[in-house]
């Protein structure tokens, strides 16, 4: 299996580091006994990035494959090529990068391009056997959903996945960064974007009118209020798709 790793950014100081979610992905991969794990990164190699990438090696790896790309390039084609050339059974990625675009779309675009299924927000991979992986998807409020997915597949990790182990300095320094070449595709769209520091979004106040501790607890533990939702069972794919289409129209997502 392959874990896609990126260069993270510390939320307070902005220093580059191993990205928290990607590190969780690595930890998730390490929980599978006997798995052959490869680390893959596409990006620029400089001093700051190298220290961050070595953070993953410090979790107990001899090598990391680095597809060298200039700064303003699209990592997608390079990653897709590399994965197509030597397809792993399972590709694990974080939910979104800690810097750069950080749209969280990369796993989806990759899955689309490779034609592989994608499962998001995993808490655990329980078993990989016979071309099928049994995975546990994290849902809100500690709920879990067990899914079986045909391999090869791409999965992303949730914050509920096991916390990454400490990165040890010795193995991190000794590990190799195996640089490989790949076609460079300039990210034309991003070049046209304007970047500015993000503004903190105002937080919606949650007003809990509770007289007792019990009420407050109930409010905190309550399920999200939906009410308007609809559970469709025993419908054909067309009927289901029509219902989803109708909802998206109503909500104004599709016009």
Partner 1 sequence: MLDTLLPILIAASLALAVIGAWRRVRLWRQGRSAPVDLLKGLAAMPRRYLVDLHHVVARDKVMSNTHVATAGGFVAAAVLMVLVHGLGLAQGVLGWALLAASATMFAGSCFVARRRRNPPARLSKGPWMRLPKSLMAFSLSIFAITLPAVGLLPEDFGSWILALALCTVLVWGLGEMVFGMTWGGPMKHAFAGALHLAFHRRAERFSTKGGEGNRSTGLKALNLDDRDAPLGVETPSDFTWNQLLGFDACVQCGRCEAVCPAFAAGQPLNPKKLIQDMVVGMAGGSDAHYAGSPYPGKPVGEHEGSADGPIVAREGKALVDADTLWSCTTCRACVEECPMMIEHVDAIVDMRRFLTLEHGNTPNKGAEVLDNLIATDNPGGFDPGARMHWAADLELPLMRDLQQAEVLLWLGDGAYDMRNQRTLRSLVKVLRAADVDFAVLGDEERDSGDVARRLGDEATFQSLAKRNIATLSKYRFKRIVTCDPHSFHVLGNEYGELGGDYEVRHHSTFIAELYDAGRLHFKPWKGGSVTYHDPCYLGRYNGEFEAPRNVLRALGIEVAEMERSGFRSRCCGGGGGAPITDIPGKQRIPDMRMGDVRETGAELVAVGCPQCTAMLEGVVDASAEVRDIAELVADALIAAPASTGERSQTQEAQAAEVL
Is residue 170 near partner 1 by the rule CB under 8 A? Answer: yes
Radius of gyration of the chain (CA): 21
Is residue 162 near partner 1 by the rule CB under 8 A? Answer: no
Is residue 168 near partner 1 by the rule CB under 8 A? Answer: yes
Using the rule CB under 8 A, give the single segment among 57-65, 91-99, 176-184, 207-215 that binds partner 1: 57-65
Query: 59 or 114, CB closer to partner 1?
Result: 59
Is residue 176 near partner 1 by the rule CB under 8 A? Answer: no
Instruction: Please state, in angstroms and rounded to a whole number, the distance separating the CA atoms of residues 154 and 118.
Output: 5
CB of 185 to partner 1, least distance (A): 32
Give the total of residues touching partner 1 (CB under 8 A): 17
Cα 231-237-241 angle, rounded to 5 deg? 70
In the set 31, 35, 139, 169, which binds partner 1 (CB under 8 A)? 169
Instruction: Please state, in angstroms and rounded to a whole number, the distance separating the CA atoms of residues 72 and 86.
Output: 25
Closest residue by Cα to residue 89 from 135, 146, 128: 128
Is residue 166 near partner 1 by the rule CB under 8 A? Answer: yes
Angle between helix 47-57 and helix 20-30 axes, rounded to 10 deg: 30
Is residue 72 near partner 1 by the rule CB under 8 A? Answer: no
Task: Write out the residues near partner 1 by the rule CB under 8 A.
Answer: 10, 12-13, 15, 17, 58-60, 165-171, 173-174
């Amino acid at each position: 299996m392959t874990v896609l790793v990126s260069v993270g950014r510390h939320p307070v100081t902005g220093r580059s580091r191993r990205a928290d979610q990607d590190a969780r992905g690595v930890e998730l991969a390490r929980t599978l006994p006997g798995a052959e794990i490869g680390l893959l990164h596409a990006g620029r190699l400089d001093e700051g990035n190298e220290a961050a990438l070595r953070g993953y090696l410090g979790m107990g790896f001899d090598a990391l494959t680095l597809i060298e790309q200039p700064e303003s390039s699209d990592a997608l084609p390079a990653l897709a090529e590399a994965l197509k050339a030597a397809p792993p059974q399972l590709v694990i990625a974080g939910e979104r990068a800690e810097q750069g675009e950080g749209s969280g779309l990369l796993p989806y675009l990759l899955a689309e391009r490779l034609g592989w299924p994608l499962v998001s927000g995993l808490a655990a991979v329980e078993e990989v056997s016979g071309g099928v992986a049994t995975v546990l998807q994290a849902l809100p409020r500690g709920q879990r959903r067990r899914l079986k997915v045909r391999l090869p597949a791409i999965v992303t990790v949730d914050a509920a996945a096991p916390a990454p182990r400490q990165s040890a300095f010795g193995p991190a320094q000794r590990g190799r960064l195996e640089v490989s070449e790949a076609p460079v595709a300039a990210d034309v769209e991003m070049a046209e974007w304007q970047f500015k520091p993000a503004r903190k979004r105002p937080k919606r106040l949650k007003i809990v009118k509770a007289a007792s501790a019990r009420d407050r607890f109930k409010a905190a533990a309550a399920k999200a209020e939906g009410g308007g939702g609809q559970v469709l069972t025993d419908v054909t794919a067309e009927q289901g798709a029509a219902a989803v289409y109708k909802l998206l129209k109503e909500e104004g997502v599709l016009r």
